Amino acid sequence: DQQVKQNSPSLSVQEGRISILNCDYTNSMFDYFLWYKKYPAEGPTFLISISSIKDKNEDGRFTVFLNKSAKHLSLHIVPSQPGDSAVYFCAASARETSGSRLTFGEGTQLTVNP
C-alpha cells in the first residue's frame, strides 16, 4: 500500500524553464511534507518542507505547494538548472500519531538539458 505516490518516474526540461514535480498521498493523517534530492552515488539531502497549516513554502528557486483537499503537493523549480538533475523524493510524516517517521514516494528522475 503506497501511501505516498510519485506517478512520474522521469521528467525532462530545458534549462531556464520551470520544472514541476508532483506527489499524491492517501493518508489523511499526514501533516508534514518534505522533498529530498538525490544525486548518483550520494545519499538523499533535504531540500524543502511544508506543514499542513500552509499551502505554499518558498526557498529561492524552489517552491512547494500543498493542496490538502486533493491530497496533492508539487515542487516547482524556477529557473531549472543542469545541476538540478537528480532524483527527487517526496516524503510525508504524521506528527500527531507517528512523530517524525517518514514515508517516501518512489522518486522522480529530473533531467535538465542545457
Partner 1 sequence: DVKVTQSSRYLVKRTGEKVFLECVQDMDHENMFWYRQDPGLGLRLIYFSYDVKMKEKGDIPEGYSVSREKKERFSLILESASTNQTSMYLCASSFQTRTNEKLFFGSGTQLSVL
Question: Grid coordinates representing 45?
Answer: 539531502
62 lies in the binding site for partner 1 (CB under 8 A)? no
Member of 26, 56, 101, 113 binding partner 1 (CB under 8 A): 101
Residue 31 or 79: which CB sits closer to partner 1?
Answer: 31
Q: Which stretch binds partner 1 (CB under 8 A): 10-18, 53-61, 77-85, 89-97?
A: 89-97
Beta strands in 8-71, from DSSP E residues, in sequence order: 10-14, 19-25, 32-38, 45-51, 56-59, 62-67
CA separation for the pair 5, 111 (Å, rounded): 20
Member of 13, 34, 50, 64 binding partner 1 (CB under 8 A): 34
Question: Grid coordinates representing 6?
Answer: 510519485
Residue 41: how many CA atoms within 13 Å on its side-chain side? 0
93 lies in the binding site for partner 1 (CB under 8 A)? yes
What residues line the site for partner 1 (CB under 8 A)?
A: 4, 6, 9, 32, 34, 36, 41-46, 49, 89, 91, 93, 95, 99-107
